[in-house]
Amino acid sequence: MRKISYLLSLLSLVMFLLALTNCKEIKGFSKKPNPTEEGNLPTIRPSRMSISSPEGGYKEIVVSGDSATLQLIADSLGIQNIKRCSCDDDIMLWNIPDTLNIENAIGTVRRNSHSGVKGDVNIEIVLPSRSKEVQLIKQDEIRATINPNNGESVIVIIDTGLEIQTLIDEGNFKLLQTDKYNNAICGDSITSINGSYGWNFINKNTDLSDFTQHGTLVTKNILKNVPNSDKEQFQILPLKVFNNHGKGNYWEIVCAFSYINKIIEMEEAVGNKIDIAIVNASFGATLAETSFNFSEDFLVLKDYIDLLNEKSIVVASAGNERRNNDTLPHFPSSYNSSLSFNTASMQPSNNIVSVAGYEKDNYGSLLLATTEIATVGSNYGIKSVDLAAPWSYILESKIQTQGIVDAVKFQVEGTSYGAGYLSAKLLKFGLEHPNLRGHSLLHSFLYESNIVKRPNNGLPVIDFKYIE
């Protein structure tokens, strides 16, 4: 019976493909103009992040657990080169000496899992340098205000930093003041006169300079897609985990998620509430190396994501490599995949949503989840991608193009910006449903809201969802 059902589904898929190739419009979809029809706009192409393979193999592991227990294990292995997260002593980075095999070191940590410790290989994620054809210009005017936590919703943006002086075109917005968190959690003794916002995990300070402008552009797209009337109801918390050359690593990302959880714990300890509704993670790369097993090698971060299960939605880009995430997991968006986490003791993280991209005038580009149909560079996956957002967006700012400064429109492309767009939609949805958070809010958004669309083609082949 299963074989017959599979054949019927396959036949339906073929019939739909034929219908798609013979029709200009699919019932249930409204065609929209391609943004590029507005003119030949300066364009920031999608960033194809990659995992860097160090010469001589991987030499670092990320460990979490009680710091005293971790130190005992490190001493027993002869590991002396140890770093600690700037805001959490219970997360360490061990540099493995040449005399010790990294697999044996990780194995030793995992054999002590009964003590609550875990260990993963540390990977480096590289954001490639983009052309400087579009360069945002800092302006004297700042429309951001820095406010302490007052119960408003918070959106965390984990990225390359934030240049608030380039965001005046997006109206007034709020930043979460973090002096008290940085002082208490990170040991930062410096308090800014106007208040600090966010944390730089690379340099262990509050300098959020964004040389690549990736995080700034993602934030700009979020603000553009939130109504001005709602911008007074939430605060932005930027966390920098990529350096000025666009390089980041697993350890810094784990440290950032720990910081989020510690902020929540700190407020709850004194009877306060902080509503970190959304965590935007517009980064990642495909785990193409056969040496990685996603369901075993990256569990430290999964623990911190799962701790946010009832509090926050993690919005993750699916990637821009035109690869099938069902076949090759994508970090970190595939934490949602039942293909990687399908045992009684290890289930998918159900508060993370993986966002692919589609062309506005070609909804079939991801509907069939095949490389033959895809006309944009987005990753895809029937079981590991939750929905698709538009691939390209028109932004406006004072920019520098080929040495000329002007206020013009420009275009950005890729799932990083699609994730930001979805974050904006989820943020507004969360403001309208204050009693829902985390996985409950995400489930309601995906399956009960009228924001998420499905094709009305009568062929239940794939549970494809998209937002306009």
> Which contiguous run of DSSP H or E holds residue 245?
none
**Domain interval for residue 91:** 60-122
Taking the alpha carbons at both ends of the chain, their separation in whole angstroms is 38
Looking only at the bridges linking them, the beta strands covering 352-358 and 247-249 are unpaired
Q: Which residue has the tokens 């979805």?
A: 422
Sign of CA dihedral 243, 246, 248, 252: positive
Angstrom distance (rounded) from CA 414 to CA 412: 7
Q: Are residues 416 and 344 in the same domain?
A: yes
Contact 243, 260 (CB under 8 A): no
Q: Which of 2-16, 254-268, 290-304 has the highest mean pLDDT?
A: 254-268
Q: Are residues 283 and 144 in the same domain?
A: yes
pLDDT digits (tens, 9 = 90+) for 441-452: 999 999 998 888
pLDDT band for 191, please (50, 70, 90 cuts).
low
Structural domain contains residue 10: no
Q: What is the CATH number of the domain that holds 206?
A: 3.40.50.200
pTM of the model as a whole: 0.88
Q: What single letter denotes the amino acid at residue 56? A: G
Angstrom distance (rounded) from CA 257 to CA 135: 30
Structural domain contains residue 321: yes
Angstrom distance (rounded) from CA 302 to CA 299: 5
Q: Are residues 64 and 46 in the same domain?
A: no
pLDDT reading at 351 higher than 90:
yes
Contact 280, 156 (CB under 8 A): yes
Contact 172, 160 (CB under 8 A): no
What is the chain's length? 468
pLDDT digits (tens, 9 = 90+) for 207-244: 999 998 999 999 999 999 999 889 989 999 999 999 99
Angstrom distance (rounded) from CA 248 to CA 234: 27
Q: Are residues 402 and 329 in the same domain?
A: yes
> Which contiguous run of DSSP H or E holds residue 61?
strand 60-64
Q: What single letter denotes the amino acid at residue 37? A: E
Please state which of the ranges 165-174, 185-194, 291-300 shows the lowest mean pLDDT: 185-194
Peptide bond into 332 cis (omega under 30): yes
Count: domains in the chain: 2
Q: Are residues 425 and 384 in the same domain?
A: yes
- Closest Cα to residue 36, out of 405, 402, 415, 391? 391
Structural domain contains residue 98: yes
Structure tokens at 281: 């993670």
Contact 178, 197 (CB under 8 A): yes
Q: Are residues 107 and 210 in the same domain?
A: no
What Cα–Cα distance (Å) separates residue 362 from each residue in 20, 103, 391? Answer: 10, 46, 11
Q: Residue 70: what pLDDT? A: 95
Q: Are residues 192 and 161 in the same domain?
A: yes
Angstrom distance (rounded) from CA 238 to CA 226: 17
Q: Are residues 130 and 113 in the same domain?
A: no
> Which contiguous run of DSSP H or E holds residue 87?
none
